[in-house]
Chains A and B, each alone.
Chain A
Amino acid sequence: MAVEERDGHSGYLTTGHEWNGIKELNTPVPRLVYLTLAVTALFAVGYWILMPAFPLGSTFTKGLLGADDRTAVTAAVKQAQTDRARWTDLIAAKSYDDIQGDPRLMAQVRATGAVLFGDNCAACHQRDARGGNGFPNLTTQSWLWGGTPEAIAETIRVGVNAAHPNTRVSQMPAFGRDGVLKRDEMENVVAYVMSLSAPPAGKVSADRIAAGKAVFTANCAACHGPEGRGNLELGAPNLTDSHWIYGSDATALYAGVWGGLQNQMPSWEGRLSALDRKILVLYILDRRGP
């Protein structure tokens, strides 16, 4: 073994070994290392005594504080509910009208509703609640199932074509796929439906619209009403306004008539509390435009 030597720069002895030119100093471990080791170990031991820490066969040490994440979070959520009660109780108790007339409560509805809506509803109805791609715009006066607070609350509670036992059920038949109507009949009725909300574009003949009207009366009026103003009982939309769920062009309308429509709105009863749902109703009504 080589002899220990002293490093000129630091003044420490080497261990006397050399590996491919590398030597080591035998510098003592700085105090600070032991000190921090002791401090962190002390912290650890203290933590182990206070908290659940070590396994013992079929159980574990529970810790002096008896802390448990699950009870803690349940308590925190409860506490938060209690803290919110000063305004949530008012929302729960008051009528829709009263709340809408109370700017302070409405400010709270807006703050809360935006996030509830963002995390649960925006996936379908978009962050601005304007829908699209087959999902209704919730900011219009045009409602499928009614625009009263109670009707909206019910839609949210049970959903449409959802898994809830009392779900609202709606279906527009597939006139084309099921062979009820022929191609030209469907084209005519589409032309007629388009004429209900907008003056017919130049090319479309009056004959065609008249023919379409006949088809409509025979096949569609049952749901959409004789004038096409819709039916809130069946969730059949009003076809005379300018709001469209699936698009306003002839192709989109034809596709609906041909293949039928049966979209789904989930039921939120099992997922959101009655309070949250009430806030959502108020939030939607608040966003409603002309």
Chain B
Amino acid sequence: MFGLHYKLERKSIGLALAIIGIGSIGGLVEIAPLFTIDQTVEDAPGMRVYTPLELAGRNIYVREGCYACHSQMIRTLRDEVERYGPYSLAVESKYDHPMLWGSKRTGPDLARIGGKYSDQWHVAHFVNPREIVPPSVMPSYARLLRNPLRTDDLGRHLRAMRAVGVPYTDDMIANATADAIGQATPGGEAADGVSKRYGEATNVRVFDGLPGELTEMDALVAYLQIVGRLTDAAYKTAGK
């Protein structure tokens, strides 16, 4: 073996190829089958996609780096299931490009945050976390309430998401901007379009408490309220 190596270490290209060869095996064995083994991602008929407003909110979550403190992955451990709810399924992040499972819980897990608190609570908490939860170390995101949400390019976002495999229809792409506004404007005509395209159960509300204004806070709260609720597969699996 050492004799063989004595030869190999004299050839830079040979050495390079050996490194690539030896180094590729692990990744190939572990990643490729995740696309071929059906069991990897559970079936979830009826799972819906993010609405444009929720997607915009998710992008704010990404932009602000919330993953630095929050996981979105409840592990198959008794204490996590008892504290946070049913363990996370792979299918629940099927439309998550990228996934936001996280690696650090400075704050609590958020995989089941959707519907846990009211919109007002989220807004108040983002504006000043320590007023609502005194020991909190979370930063204030008051500025989200001041920033108008950019909606004109949401169609292009949906199209890019479709390019990576999320089943957005032409209708959804064409109406992305209108739907984003509609979801935060209950009662309006645009709101009906949201329910039509994304389902009756879609939350259509003034998420940020400021009717008539579409802020980044609307988007972020709309997103948080749907985290873990695109499908109820996890609850069904847990019930079994």
A and B associate: yes
Asked if B17 is an interface residue, CB under 8 A from chain A, the answer is no
In the complex, whether B76 has a CB less than 8 A from a CB of chain A is: yes
Interface residue B199 (Cβ < 8 Å from any Cβ of A)? no
Assess whether A263 is in contact with B132, with CB atoms less than 8 Å apart. Answer: no
Total interface residues on A, CB under 8 Å, equals: 30
Which chain A residues in 124-140 approach chain B with CB under 8 Å? 124, 126, 133-134
B83 within 8 Å of A (CB atoms): yes
A271-B116 contact, Cβ under 8 Å, with A60-B37, A73-B77: yes
Task: Count how many chain B residues have C-beta atoms less than 8 Å from C-beta atoms of the other chain.
Answer: 34
Q: Select the stretch in B18-26, B118-126, B139-147 that faces chain A.
A: B118-126
A73 in contact with B87 given A55-B33, A58-B37, A58-B38 (CB within 8 Å): yes
Indicate if B165 sits at the interface (CB-CB under 8 A).
no
Q: Residue A218 at the B interface, CB < 8 A?
A: no
Cα–Cα distance between A123 and B118 once the two chains are bound (Å): 11
B residues 24-68 touching A (CB-CB < 8 Å): 29-30, 32-33, 36-39
- Asked if A77 contacts B37 (CB within 8 A), the reply is no
Contacts of A264 in B (CB 8 A): 118-121
Q: Cβ of A57 < 8 Å from any Cβ of B? A: yes
Interface of B is mostly: helix
Chain B residues with CB below 8 A from A119, complex form = 83, 108
B82 touches A57 (CB 8 A): no
A194-219 interface mask toward B, CB cutoff 8 Å, 1 = contact, 0 = none? Answer: 00000000000000000000000000
Q: How far does the alpha carbon of A124 sit from the alpha carbon of B76 in the complex, in Å?
A: 28
Instruction: Return the chain A residue nearest B235 by Cβ.
Output: A270
Residues 50-72 of chain A, each 1 if its beta carbon lies under 8 Å from chain B, else 0: 00001101111000000001101
Name the residue in A77, A80, A122 with the highest tally of chain B Cβ atoms < 10 Å from its Cβ.
Answer: A77
A74 at the B interface (CB under 8 A) = yes
Alpha-carbon separation in the docked complex, A126 to B136 (Å): 12
Chain B nearest Cβ from A78, distance in angstroms: 10
Q: Is B196 an interface residue (CB 8 A)?
A: no
Cβ-defined partner of B118 (8 Å) among A126, A263, A271:
A263
A263 to B118, CA, bound (A): 9
- Residues 80-95 of B, flagged 1 when their CB comes within 8 A of A and 0 if not, give 0111010100000000
Asked if A80 and B78 sit within 8 Å, CB to CB, the answer is: yes
Contact: B29 with A59, CB < 8 Å?
no
Closest CB in chain A relative to B135 CB, distance in Å: 8
Q: Is there an interface contact between B120 and A133, defined as CB atoms closer than 8 Å?
A: no
Does A76 contact B37, Cβ atoms closer than 8 Å?
no
Interface status of B170 (Cβ within 8 A of chain A): no
Mask: chain A, 243-265; 1 = CB below 8 Å from B; 0 = not: 00000000000000000000111
- A59 to chain B: closest residue by CB: B37
- Is A266's CB within 8 Å of the partner chain B? yes
Question: Which A residues touch B160, using CB under 8 A?
Answer: none
For residue A163, CB closer than 8 A to chain B, the reply is yes
Partner of B78, one of A73, A120, A124, A266: A73
User: Assuming A59-B39, A60-B37, is B120 touching A70 (CB within 8 A)?
Assistant: no
Chain A residues within an 8 Å CB radius of B118: 162, 263-266
Q: Which residues of A are found within 8 Å of B82, using beta-carbon distances?
A: 77, 80
Question: Residue of B at shortest CB range from A72?
Answer: B76
Q: CA–CA, A126 to B76, complex, Å?
A: 29
Q: Which of B29, B32, B78, B133 is the one whose CB lies under 8 Å from A76?
A: B78
Q: Does B152 contact A (CB under 8 A)?
A: no
Q: Are B121 and A55 in contact (CB under 8 A)?
A: no
Selected from A60, A120, A162, the residue in CB contact (under 8 A) with B33 is A60
Bound form: Cα–Cα A263–B81 in Å: 29
Cβ-closest chain B residue relative to A15: B6
- The answer to whether B76 touches A73 (Cβ under 8 A) is yes
Q: Which residue of A lies closest to B89 (CB)?
A: A70
Q: Mark B99-143, 1 if CB is under 8 A from A, else 0.
A: 000000000100010011111110011000001111000000000
Which residue, of B29, B112, B120, has the highest number of chain A Cβ atoms within 10 A?
Answer: B120
Contact indicator B85/A271 (Cβ below 8 Å): yes
Complex CA–CA separation, A274 to B240 (angstroms): 19
Jot down 27 A-B pairs with beta carbons below 8 A, ordered by A: A55-B30, A55-B36, A57-B37, A60-B37, A69-B76, A70-B76, A73-B76, A73-B77, A74-B240, A77-B78, A77-B81, A119-B108, A122-B133, A123-B132, A124-B117, A124-B121, A126-B134, A133-B124, A133-B131, A133-B132, A162-B118, A263-B120, A264-B121, A266-B116, A266-B117, A266-B118, A271-B112
Interface residue ranges, A against B (CB under 8 Å): 54-55, 57-60, 69-70, 72-74, 76-77, 80, 119-120, 122-124, 126, 133-134, 162-163, 263-266, 270-271
Known A-B contacts: A55-B29, A124-B121, A265-B118. Give 6 more (CB < 8 A).
Answer: A59-B39, A73-B81, A123-B125, A124-B117, A124-B132, A263-B120
Which 4 A-B pairs have CB atoms at the shortest separation, nearest pair first? A55-B33, A264-B118, A69-B76, A73-B76
